[in-house]
Amino acid sequence: MKTIIISFIAGLLFVGVALAEESTVYKKYNKEGVVEFSDVPDKNAKSVPIPPMNTYKQKPLPKNFQKRVESVDPETYQSLVIASPVEDKIVRQNAGNITVSIASKPALNSAHRVRFVLDGNEKTTLLVSKPTVTFKNVSRGTHTVQAFIVNNAGKVLISSKSVKFHLQRFAFKPKS
């Protein structure tokens, strides 16, 4: 049974590689009745029809989200700052989970959302009562984070300055 499962998985992997290269794939049964896939034609093998690969073209992320910030409405919010993490400080978190929190004056309106941007990648949180977000499994190194308060229409009402921080995580040193 184990041999059949391994052969099946190997066959699927082989088909995946073959699909990536868009070559012809042949299927046959060996003496034990196990399915085998190959790119080499055999008298007992039959050609497997391979449909075209599915593709998806993702929209590119904005080069600089800050350029999309519309004019600030000074009557709504007077200030917005990233309260945590602190500018240019080292954060030690082995799991790589970074909690970012903001402070605004006045306090966050329940009709508004906070958009957090880590290293230029947009990540929106819908938390309105607790203006925080946790980025999971962030890699070691230097990162930047910025926050934007937006209304229901997505208009940016105010933005914070970018905060740079340095994440340290435990790493195993490979044996030499």
Q: What is the pLDDT of residues 107-152, one digit of tens each?
A: 888 888 888 888 877 655 545 556 888 888 888 899 999 988 888 8
80 alpha-carbon distance from chain centroid = 26
Alpha-helical (H) ranges within the chain are 2-21
pLDDT 10s digits, 71-103: 444 457 889 999 999 999 988 888 888 999 999
Average pLDDT value for residue range 34-49:
87
5-26 as b/e: b if 16+ CB within 10 A: eebeeebeeebeebeeeeeebb
Sketch out the chain's domains with CATH numbers: 2-48 (no CATH), 67-168 (2.60.40.10)
pTM of the model: 0.53
Residue 20 has pLDDT above 80, yes or no: no
